[in-house]
Amino acid sequence: MPRSAVVIDREYLKHQPGDLHPERPERLKALLDLTAELDSGSFKLLPPRAATREEVELCHSKDYIELVESTSQVNRYALDGDTITSRDSFGTGLLAAGGFLNLLDAIAAAELRNGFALVRPPGHHALKDRAMGFCLFNTVAIGAQHLRRQHGAKRVLIMDWDVHHGNGTQDAFYRDPSVLYVSTHQYPYYPGTGAIEEAGVREGEGYTMNVPLPAGCGDEEYLRVFGDVVIPVAEKFEPEWILVSAGFDPHRRDPLGSMDVTEKGFGAMAALLIALAEKQSGGRIAFLLEGGYDLTALKNSVFAVLHEMKEKSAIDLPGKSGGEAIEPLIRKILKFQERYW
């Protein structure tokens, strides 16, 4: 059987938003150290490539791409209050998107079983014509569009477990029934979107599912949501591909979130999605790094996901007594989703 793959490269260190910026190159340095420990019999290191303009234009306007490119002429440019570029940021953003597309192409060709793109900058806040929340280009959205255009995918599930709602990804597919976007996120919190009632419009109505969680949720609450809400709806959607916006800022150590998830919890969520992919998607699943700003938590959590890609552990979901604090929220979400699923 084909191996799993990891996309990572020292070139991703070149995006320099500032020494005190949370999305700093040290995030990837920690993961470069991790890849040295991987079993070469189970994991292949897949080199990235730069995305083409045409590929980025699947989700972004030409004017916006040209704006980001123009920042290559200055040492520092603020696209918004949080999203800062350096001279190499545009090229690094293209390499992030292209690295993910390389992974998807290899999985589509059955050269690999699955994979994890450890790239930066993150992408799920980036809108069609606007940078936002540390994000330049929306890599996961570009990936989903690529699967549709190049590989004929008709049903793509994007699961986003970052602590922040992926407003850019939601916006990209809000009218699109071919992509089911599911997000678990701390709410209310940045960027302020992601309420239960945000479910898509027109043909896309019902193909956005938001799970806005209160601060303090940990492994039991997340696994309860996955068991009662995420996996049942995803099974009804019958995805041909699963893409995961894997942000590790819900970790209990993360400085930007207020959640209580551990590396064990991330591994369990990954295992459930991998099992879903094996059941319905021919094993086709690709993880993509989004947030995660405590270096120890990030490294340990990524390792937990990689372990599940290799071992495929059985997961015991919490019973009705587990995660009981969010029982009213789960009932509310299920009641709302009855009209669609």
User: Pick the catalytic residue: 125, 146, 164, 251?
Assistant: 125
Q: In this predicted structure, what is the pLDDT of residue 321?
A: 64
Say what the pLDDT of residue 311 is. 80
Q: Is the Cβ–Cβ distance between 39 and 310 less than 8 Å?
A: yes
- Looking at per-residue confidence, does 16 or 313 come out higher? 16
Tell me the per-residue pLDDT of 279-337, one tens digit each, with 9 for 90 and over: 999 999 999 999 999 999 999 999 999 999 988 766 777 776 678 889 999 999 999 99
pTM for this model (two decimals): 0.97
CA-CA distances (angstroms) from residue 129 to 61, 66, 72, 82?
Answer: 6, 10, 18, 16
SS (H, E, C) 181-241: EEEEEECCCCCCCCCCCCCCCHHHCCCEEEEEECCCCEHHHHHHHHHHHHHHHHHHHCCCE
Q: What average pLDDT does the chain have?
A: 96
Where residue 137 falls among pLDDT bands split at 50, 70, 90? very high
Q: What's the residue count for the chain?
A: 341
The arithmetic mean of pLDDT across residues 24-38, rounded, is: 91
What are the structural domains, with CATH classification, of the chain?
4-337 (3.40.800.20)
Q: Is 251 annotated as catalytic?
A: no
The count of C-alpha atoms lying within 13 angstroms of the C-alpha of 72, restricted to the half-sphere facing its C-beta, is 14
| 120 and 12 Cβ atoms separated by less than 8 Å | yes
What band does 164 get if pLDDT is binned at 50, 70 and 90?
very high
- Looking at residue 275, its pLDDT comes to 96
| Distance, CA of 37 to CA of 156 (rounded, Å) | 32
Contacts of 63-66 with CB under 8 Å at 24 or more apart are 63/129, 64/128, 64/129, 64/130
- 3-class secondary structure, 263: helix
Q: What is the mean pLDDT of residues 125-139?
A: 98
Vertex 81: Cα angle to 132 and 196 (nearest 5): 45
Calpha distance 93→85 (Å, rounded): 10
Q: What does DSSP say about strands 241-246 and 285-289: parallel, antiparallel, or unpaired?
A: parallel
